């Protein structure tokens, strides 16, 4: 099997200022279980970054640390060189479980973001309508989440995230609760939606255990493994878009990921 | 016997009475609930009666209790049974309803396992239904025990006309100590009572944790998985240990239709299902007894007495209006305190670890026991502020103390049960306090708020009943207000005019049931239809 030159063994700090950068992250649960050791992740401008790892390795926890929802034991996350100490609308989190508010229509759900930023009602409505249009939900503004399919609800959640005008989007397995056909459709749309020229969005971090999904979307993939988890590799995906799983390079990358994700043989977690 | 020992044993007697009646409620609830899920007619009768009595404040039972137990049974047994019945009606309804809801919402697959192995009545109850109901029972124990203790002073010692009836317990003992001006004894009683309540709360909290860890199924409480962010699990755990999880219950309720037959399984055996007919007969007999007793009661009242009672009705309605105004004030104050303190405690784990057990102990400590001392200590200060409205202030304060924890717990529980993703989203969007409250927290806790407001209204009457006319609250001092239905019932009960008191209770009961049907249930329906936070989280 070919080992492409773009597989990097590890990532260190001290590189030029990234859009979003987590440096030397160490983290333990309250019971003392050590989750991460010296994690370094960098998200460059206009990059779609994937994070993969075995189930239960702590991918979602890492995403929460990057968003400022959890404080690491040591290390820090920087947005454009500025330390993130608490959650900010500049880095918006899209949850694994699709989160909408059942008492609000699709439009009201999306308006929550601009309204929270004190944008006047009429202007917030325009922003929300635009975000709904971007995710393909034009005409569905007045529906309540209960009246929508899972895929439509996830589009609402993404529209709400976009309506906050974030610089970075953190997506925690956003397609895992959708059926394969819906997920595939949304995956095909998502890259174009996120990186439209008229959005201030400059980067996306996607966490997933679905390797095909990550390869389909990401420019760079960080591979987590071992206990406690460390970055065991970084893969720069060099396949033109739109990507097809039938592309031979796709299979090669997939093989590399599978190899790197073999069962953890790391240190014993005391 | 040594006086200290008498005080100690009286505390134990009261605690034993409350705990014993809670236990009785639990055991009878299992049997009745099982009967309810097995027979439609029995279910309809059981649930209708429970729902009506749950919405009628416990205190309105009092004249009925007195008539039944004192005049019919009499003696010390009659007094003891009257006290027990009053405490029983304070604790039983939400435990019964919780058990019924648990039995009704048990996953079909679990029942099918029992059916598959042909488990008998006791076996299926012991191995499947009872364990499944434990978390919901535990969830209702904190308010039930608080309620049980609250009524000890009025249930253990009461006066009709010139006769005072009393049964052994700290309520009676405290009254005697106050009359004798025995300060040391009073202090000792407080210390013993506080100790016993703290021990009960401690065991209850410990048992809650155990119950949640052992008896919740993973759809209620997700198992903590390695490498997962733990906040969500923690909140769900806590939510399952607190008050009634209405949101989840209503969701289960609508999802499952136990009467629906599943054609994939073995068809019902041919022949007559005797248990269904037996249960239906029991239900109909209970209904017939209630109707028969009511008819007898109505017929036993002379036409002249009826016209006297009807003439009293306008006075009763005016008194009720006064009392609803007091209830409105209590609800408003409670609401503001609950949504500020409740929210603060729900999102600050350090403050919560101290604040919630403290509030649980304080609320279980019966307000009528210590209120006379608060009244006498602060009367001059408050009189200088409130002037002629001082008594009004104290009555509302007593009602507030006696009831605020319902709404507080409900709201606190609602916030704890909110999907953790909502909390994260609010943080992510940097939402301000009022924006969070208006857009997310109050809507997502709406079912809990309605349940809490409903319980608060119901138990506010208990505080008003005690406070609106409280002769000899301390020495020769009497706390009373000029107008109010509870005062009317109090005075007529004490003067031995039980007919007027019972009629006022009946009118009151009807108003409360109508209020429940037209307001509480509508609000609850709205909450179930629109404000179920879990429905906003899509996880296939």
Q: Is the pLDDT reported for residue B57 higher than 70? A: no
CA dihedral angle for residue B325, residue B328, residue B330, residue B333, rounded to 10 degrees: -130
Please judge whether B227 and A57 are an interchain contact, meaning their C-beta atoms are less than 8 angstroms apart: yes
CA dihedral angle for residue B509, residue B529, residue B329, residue B318, rounded to 10 degrees: -30
Q: What is the pLDDT of residue B60?
A: 65
pLDDT-derived band at B248, boundaries 50, 70, 90: very low
**Chain A: nearest CA to B212, how far in angstroms?**
19
CB-CB neighbors (< 8 A) of A100 in chain B: 536, 538
Q: Is the pLDDT reported for residue B216 higher than 80? A: no
For B101, residues 6+ apart whose C-beta sits below 8 A from its C-beta are B136, B249, B252, B253
Q: Is B296 exposed, middle or buried (0-12, 13-18, 19+ CB in 10 A)?
A: exposed
Please judge whether B228 and A60 are an interchain contact, meaning their C-beta atoms are less than 8 angstroms apart: yes
B474 phi/psi in degrees, rounded to 5: -150, 115
Q: What is the pLDDT of residue B309?
A: 86
CA distance B484 to B507: 14
In the DSSP assignment, the letter for residue B166 is: E
Quick one: tokens of B399? 């009602």
Average pLDDT value for chain B: 79
Please judge whether B428 and A93 are an interchain contact, meaning their C-beta atoms are less than 8 angstroms apart: yes
CATH of domain A1-90+202-262: 3.40.50.300
Q: Is the pLDDT reported for residue B224 higher than 70? A: no
Instruction: Mutate one of B422, B530, B538, B539 to test the A interface: name it (highest A CB count within 10 A).
Output: B538
Buried b (16+ CB within 10 A) or exposed e, B217-226: eeebbeeeee
According to DSSP, the residues that pair with A172 across neighbouring strands are A207
Distances (CA, A) of A79 to A43, A91, A203, A234: 10, 8, 11, 20
3-class secondary-structure state, position B242: coil
Q: Is the pLDDT reported for residue B214 higher than 80? A: no
Inter-residue contact B369 to B193 (CB < 8 Å): yes
Q: Is the pLDDT reported for residue B487 higher than 80? A: yes
Q: Nearest CA to A107 among A90, A92, A122?
A: A122
**Tell me: the pLDDT tens digits for B107-117?**
777 787 777 77
B387 touches A: beta carbon within 8 Å? no
Q: Who has greater pLDDT, A163 or B260?
A: A163
Cα angle A250, A252, A253 (rounded to 5 degrees) comes to 65
Q: Is the pLDDT reported for residue B229 higher than 60? A: no
Q: Nearest CA to A20 among A57, A59, A46?
A: A46
**Tell me: the pLDDT tens digits for B415-424?**
887 888 898 9
- Of the listed ranges B85-94, B288-297, B462-471, the one predicted with least confidence: B288-297
Q: Is B93 exposed, middle or buried (0-12, 13-18, 19+ CB in 10 A)?
A: buried
For B20, residues 6+ apart whose C-beta sits below 8 A from its C-beta are none
| CB neighbours of residue B493 within 10 Å | 24
Please judge whether B538 and A33 are an interchain contact, meaning their C-beta atoms are less than 8 angstroms apart: no
- For B424, the closest of A93, A103, A115 (CB atoms) is A93
Which residues does chain A have with pLDDT short of 50? 1-14, 266, 268-270
- For A112, the closest of B439, B530, B533 (CB atoms) is B439
Helix, strand, coil percent values for chain A (each to nearest 5): 30, 25, 45
Inter-residue contact A231 to A223 (CB < 8 Å): yes
B420 touches A: beta carbon within 8 Å? no
Q: What is the pLDDT of residue B442?
A: 92
pLDDT-derived band at B55, boundaries 50, 70, 90: low
The interface residues of chain B toward chain A in range 194-253, judged by CB-CB distance below 8 A, are: 225-230
3-class secondary-structure state, position B245: coil
| CB neighbours of residue B12 within 10 Å | 14
- For B430, the closest of A61, A67, A88 (CB atoms) is A88
Please judge whether B427 and A87 are an interchain contact, meaning their C-beta atoms are less than 8 angstroms apart: yes
Q: Is-cis flag, bond preceding A228, omega within 30?
A: yes
Q: What is the mean pLDDT of residues B195-222?
A: 75
B303 touches A: beta carbon within 8 Å? no
Please judge whether A101 and B536 are an interchain contact, meaning their C-beta atoms are less than 8 angstroms apart: yes
Q: Which CATH class is domain B3-219+228-258+273-536?
A: mainly alpha
Q: What is the pLDDT of residue B348?
A: 87
Range with top average pLDDT, A115-119, B57-61, B260-264: A115-119
Q: Is-cis flag, bond preceding A242, omega within 30?
A: yes
Q: What is the mean pLDDT of residues B425-440?
A: 92
The residue of chain B with its CA nearest to that of A34 is B227
- Of the listed ranges A217-221, A252-256, B52-56, B191-195, the one predicted with least confidence: B52-56
Distances (CA, A) of B215 to B125, B127, B212, B218, B450: 14, 11, 6, 9, 27
In the DSSP assignment, the letter for residue B227 is: T
Please judge whether A89 and B536 are an interchain contact, meaning their C-beta atoms are less than 8 angstroms apart: no
**Tell me: the pLDDT tens digits for A57-106?**
999 999 999 999 999 999 999 999 999 998 999 999 998 888 888 888 99
Instruction: Mutate one of A29, A86, A92, A103 to test the B interface: name it (highest B CB count within 10 A).
Output: A103
Q: What is the pLDDT of residue B10?
A: 92
- Of the listed ranges B28-42, B244-258, B265-279, B471-485, the one predicted with least confidence: B244-258
CA distance B517 to B505: 18
- The domain limits of chain A are 1-90+202-262, 96-165+177-186
Range with top average pLDDT, A232-236, B2-6, B288-292, B294-298: A232-236
CB-CB neighbors (< 8 A) of A70 in chain B: 229
Quick one: tokens of A110? 């999306």
Q: What is the pLDDT of residue A265?
A: 53
Tell how far CA A206 is from the center of its chain. Answer: 3
Q: Is B90 exposed, middle or buried (0-12, 13-18, 19+ CB in 10 A)?
A: buried
Q: What is the pLDDT of residue A2?
A: 38
Please judge whether A58 and B227 are an interchain contact, meaning their C-beta atoms are less than 8 angstroms apart: yes
Tell how far CA B61 is from the center of its chain. Answer: 14
**Chain A: nearest CA to B344, how far in angstroms?**
18
According to DSSP, the residues that pair with B480 across neighbouring strands are B469
Please judge whether B443 and A101 are an interchain contact, meaning their C-beta atoms are less than 8 angstroms apart: yes
pLDDT-derived band at B72, boundaries 50, 70, 90: confident
pLDDT-derived band at B456, boundaries 50, 70, 90: confident
Inter-residue contact B370 to B471 (CB < 8 Å): no
């Amino acid at each position: 099997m070919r080992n492409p030159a773009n597989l990097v063994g590890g990532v260190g700090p001290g590189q030029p200022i990234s859009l979003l950068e987590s440096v030397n992250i160490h983290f333990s649960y309250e019971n003392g279980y050590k989750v991460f050791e010296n994690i370094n992740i960098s998200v460059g401008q206009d990059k779609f970054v994937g994070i993969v790892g075995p189930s239960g390795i702590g991918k979602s926890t890492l995403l929460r640390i990057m968003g400022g929802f959890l404080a690491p034991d040591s290390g820090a996350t920087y947005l454009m060189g500025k330390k993130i100490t608490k959650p900010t609308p500049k880095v918006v989190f899209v949850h694994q479980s699709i989160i909408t508010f059942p008492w609000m229509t699709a439009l009201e759900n999306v308006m929550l973001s601009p309204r929270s930023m004190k944008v006047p009602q009429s202007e917030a409505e325009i922003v929300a309508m635009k975000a709904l249009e971007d995710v393909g939900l034009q005409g569905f503004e007045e529906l309540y989440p209960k009246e929508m399919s899972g895929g439509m609800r996830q589009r609402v959640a993404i529209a709400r995230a976009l309506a906050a005008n974030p610089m970075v989007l953190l997506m925690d397995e956003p397609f895992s609760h959708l059926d394969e056909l819906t997920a595939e459709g949304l995956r095909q749309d998502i890259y174009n939606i996120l990186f439209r020229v008229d959005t201030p969005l400059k980067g996306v971090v996607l966490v997933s255990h679905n390797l095909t999904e990550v390869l389909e979307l990401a420019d760079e993939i960080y591979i987590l493994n071992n206990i406690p988890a460390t970055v065991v590799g970084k893969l720069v995906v060099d396949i033109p878009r739109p990507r097809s799983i039938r592309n031979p390079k796709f299979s090669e990358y997939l093989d590399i990921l599978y190899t790197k994700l073999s069962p953890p043989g790391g240190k014993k977690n005391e | 016997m040594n006086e200290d020992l008498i005080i100690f044993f009286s505390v134990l007697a009261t605690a034993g009475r409350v705990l014993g009646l809670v236990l009785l409620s639990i055991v009878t609830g299992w049997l009745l609930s099982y009967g309810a899920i097995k027979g439609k007619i029995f279910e309809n009768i059981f649930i209708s009666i429970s729902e009506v009595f749950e919405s009628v404040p416990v205190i309105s039972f009092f004249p009925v209790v007195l008539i039944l137990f004192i005049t019919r049974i009499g003696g010390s047994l009659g007094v003891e049974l009257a006290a027990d019945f009053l405490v029983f009606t304070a604790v039983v309804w939400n435990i019964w309803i919780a058990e019924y809801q648990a039995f009704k919402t048990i996953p079909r697959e679990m029942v099918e396992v029992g059916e598959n192995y042909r488990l008998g009545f006791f076996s299926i109850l012991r191995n499947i239904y009872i364990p499944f109901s434990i978390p919901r029972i535990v969830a209702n124990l904190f308010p039930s025990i608080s309620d049980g203790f609250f009524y000890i002073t009025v249930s253990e010692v009461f006066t009709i006309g010139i006769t005072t009836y009393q049964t052994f317990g700290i309520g009676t003992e405290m009254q005697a100590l106050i009359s004798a001006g025995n300060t040391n004894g009073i202090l000792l009683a407080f210390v013993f009572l506080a100790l016993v309540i703290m021990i009960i709360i401690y065991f209850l909290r410990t048992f809650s944790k155990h119950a949640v860890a052992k008896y919740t199924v993973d759809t209620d409480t997700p198992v903590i998985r390695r490498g997962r962010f733990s906040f969500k699990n923690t909140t769900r755990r806590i939510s399952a240990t607190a008050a009634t999880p209405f949101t989840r219950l209503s969701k289960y309720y609508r999802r499952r239709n136990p009467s629906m037959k599943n054609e994939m399984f073995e068809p019902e055996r041919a022949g007559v299902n005797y248990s269904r007919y037996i249960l239906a007969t029991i239900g109909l007999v209970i209904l017939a007894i209630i109707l028969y007793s009511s008819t007898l009661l109505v017929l036993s009242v002379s036409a002249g007495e009826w016209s006297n009672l009807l003439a009293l009705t306008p006075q009763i309605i005016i008194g009720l209006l006064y009392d609803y105004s007091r209830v409105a004030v209590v609800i408003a104050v409670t609401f503001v305190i609950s949504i500020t303190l409740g929210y603060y405690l729900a999102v600050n784990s350090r403050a919560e670890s101290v604040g919630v057990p403290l509030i649980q102990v304080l609320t279980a400590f019966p307000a009528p026991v210590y209120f006379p001392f608060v009244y006498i200590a602060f009367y001059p200060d408050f009189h200088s502020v409130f002037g002629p409205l001082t008594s009004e202030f104290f009555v509302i304060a007593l009602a507030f103390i006696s009831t605020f924890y319902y709404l507080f717990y409900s709201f606190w529980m609602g916030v704890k049960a909110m999907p953790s993703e909502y909390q994260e989203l609010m943080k992510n969007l940097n939402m301000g306090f009022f924006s969070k409250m208006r857009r997310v927290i109050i809507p997502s806790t709406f079912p809990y708020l309605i349940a809490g407001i409903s319980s608060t209204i119901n138990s506010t009457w208990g505080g008003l009943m005690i406070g609106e006319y409280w002769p000899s609250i301390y020495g020769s001092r009497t706390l009373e207000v000029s107008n109010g239905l509870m005062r009317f019932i109090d005075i007529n009960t004490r003067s031995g005019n039980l007919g007027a008191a019972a009629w006022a209770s009946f009118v009151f009961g009807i108003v409360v049931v109508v209020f429940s049907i037209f307001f509480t249930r509508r609000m609850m329906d709205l909450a179930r239809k629109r404000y179920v936070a879990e429905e906003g989280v899509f996880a296939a």
